[in-house]
Structure 1
Amino acid sequence: MAEKPSLARLDLNLLVPLDALLTERSVTRAAERLRLSQPALSAALARLRTHFNDPILARRGNTYELTPLAQRLAEYTPTALETARRVFDSQSEWQADSSTREFTLYGSDYAFSTVGAVASRLAAQRAPGVRFRFMLHTPPVVEDAANRLRSVDGLLMPHGFLSDLPYEDLWSDRWVIVAAASNERAQSGLTMDDLAMAHWVFTYQSLTSFTSATRQLQQLGLETTVDAVVESFLALPRYLVGTARLGLVQGALVPFATESGDVIAVEPPFDVTPLLNALWWHPSHRNDPEHAWMRALFREAGQVLGAEHASR
């Protein structure tokens, strides 16, 4: 078995230009991004090519493409770079009120407009220098959550999609049917037959991307007709206006969905499985005091939402 090279012999500074080159696929753009001269980036690329014995960027006509090896490196480099940042950003003592740390979380627009907004508001009161970066998740992120969570601070997602990862339960919600205010059938209440005959707008619809409510409809034997799929809970109500379509949103979003008066909320004619929202994170963060502070902040934000939900 070949002996692994000593870390002492590796120039970890090359991670930064490598990440820029893999992202920009251009020496010029990578140099502009890093505010370096083009010769300096070209020299870094030459060293990377020597180290990997691979061109990294291969010319195709007037553009450059990543080589097969570079495509694999593009999966690992952001994680390695973020991990290195975390190592050198760590402090023996951490005070939230003087910190400038940025926490990065994946989630849906539902999560960001509810618990994310409350957590950010609480942080502004207690740690004004702390920032949050909220990024919309995608099916590949969820499917590869165990690896993706190595380089971010968490994923806001209900139970039912992930397992074997640490999590913090935040608050429970429920699914509500929404329809256009002009939908006379919805105005008088909906039956299971109405649901079966209706045309729908779903937020997600694939083998690996779905909501618990739409899955429950399938389990109840409803073969739904889907007119549109939009990966945004906040945008979904606009696809109902002026139609006889139905949609499903979380109870916490009903005020957003109905505020214009064009959309109404209707209780489902079946017992909907409750939605238990959680913050999922990687085990490597377990002993990080900054991350523990963030988890406690989201727990509190969930309690605030839960109390608001119960008072309605």
Structure 2
Amino acid sequence: MYLSGLDLNLVLSLRALLEERNVTRAGQRIGLSQPAMSAALARLRRHFDDELLSRVGGQYELTALGRALLDRTAAACDLLERVFSSRADFAADSEEHEFTLLASDYAVTVFGTELARTVHAEAPGVRLRFQRIPPDVTEDPTTLLSTADGLLMPHGVIGGFPTVELFTDRWVFLVAESSDEVGDRLTMDDLARLPWVTYQRTYDAPAARQLSMLGIEPRVEVSADSFQVLPFLVAGTRRIALVQQRLAERLNGVAAVRMMEPPHNVVPLQEALWWHPVHTHDAAHIWLRETAARVGAELSTSAPGRVRAAAEEDSG
């Protein structure tokens, strides 16, 4: 009822005005004359009961509400574009299409590479664009998902959106090969005593949050926004890092580290593809989900095994 009384063309005008902060440039961007753009700004000001753009000296600046609307308007335009570009059918082997997937470097390395190979073989006109997941993914996942075709992320971080299960993984620890403070097996005391390297924030990984429930508060010495650099930040130091076993196995030999079993029962990682409900019935997106599920199932056939302790390897 509320939307029925609105001219949705104003959403495009609002985005252009907020991003350009200039009436003339905003009009040129969306093909409106300067008087028409000024009229659109006047309507938007009446609707929001706010100036949105206020003149300061010789230029316009956004009001507090204008700044708040900036990202929301961009997300709304992206979502509207996806709604009206939805398809009733999709021929993957002959059509051109681009999918944007939000993913960590771990997900791209372990799963994205396999998905890209399959897409290359089966859908030559389909392009995949992987974008890094922002650190504030949990603050407004609805807006984030509206800007992409999907999010590659394990369970335990966000919820309430449709998903397709992909594959499972295990968590392991990395310690430096040169470390003489860790024996053949890690202990809970080691986890509490030694400095850590973590991915982004300490408790971004559900497995790290599990440790806090066991009374272990990691003493973080270094953090990074890439899982792949963690081995290099561990090598030659006293530090330890918690990483996914599939990634650790792919990076085996690139840094002087040892892969070790956790000293406690760690909840396994279940990777999934999450998407905004607006995509549910879109034919192209259905093909993407089915392809991702198939690739994930094939990846799951090579489930990571348990990491043997150094003493067991030597005795073998």
Q: TM-score range by the shorter chain?
A: 0.7 to 0.9
The percentage of counterpart residues that share the same residue type is 39
TM-score by length of 2: 0.83
Preserved CA contact (<8 Å) 2:135 2:200: no
**Which secondary structure does the structure 2 equivalent of 1:223 belong to?**
coil
Preserved CA contact (<8 Å) 1:199 1:224: yes
**Which secondary structure does the structure 1 equivalent of 2:212 belong to?**
helix
The answer for the alignment partner of 2:18 in structure 1 is 22
The answer for the alignment partner of 1:268 in structure 2 is 262
Identify which of 270, 295, 298 aligns with 2:292.
298
Question: Which has the higher mean CA deviation after the structures are superposed, 148-157 or 120-129?
Answer: 148-157
1:168 lines up with 2:160 in the alignment? no
Q: Give the superposition deviation at 1:11.
A: 6.4
Identify which of 164, 179, 185 aligns with 1:183.
179
**Which secondary structure does the structure 2 equivalent of 1:185 belong to?**
coil
**Which secondary structure does the structure 2 equivalent of 1:106 belong to?**
strand
The answer for the alignment partner of 2:220 in structure 1 is 226
Q: Give the superposition deviation at 1:116.
A: 1.8
Structure 2 CA distance for partners of 1:255 and 1:81, relative to 1, 3 Å: same
Superposition CA RMSD, Å: 3.0
Identify which of 238, 255, 258 aligns with 2:249.
255
Q: Give the superposition deviation at 1:178.
A: 0.7
**Which secondary structure does the structure 1 equivalent of 2:265 belong to?**
coil
Preserved CA contact (<8 Å) 1:181 1:187: no
Structure 2 runs not aligned, ≥5 long: 307-316
Structure 2 CA distance for partners of 1:23 and 1:114, relative to 1, 3 Å: farther
The answer for the alignment partner of 1:74 in structure 2 is 70
Alignment-mate amino acid for residue 249 of structure 1: V
**Which secondary structure does the structure 1 equivalent of 2:148 belong to?**
coil
Alignment-mate amino acid for residue 214 of structure 2: L
Alignment-mate amino acid for residue 164 of structure 1: G
Q: Give the superposition deviation at 1:294.
A: 0.7
Q: Give the superposition deviation at 1:306.
A: 1.4
**Which secondary structure does the structure 2 equivalent of 1:234 belong to?**
coil
The correspondence of residues 185-200 of structure 1 with structure 2, limited to 5 A, is 185-186=181-182, 188-200=184-196
> As a proportion of its length, which structure holds more helix?
1
Question: Which has the higher mean CA deviation after the structures are superposed, 57-66 or 244-253?
Answer: 57-66
TM-score by length of 1: 0.83
Q: Deviations over 1:41-90 (max 9, x none)?
A: 85565233212125433344576432223223223322332233224423
Q: Deviations over 1:269-307 (max 9, x none)?
A: 222111111111222222111111111111122123212
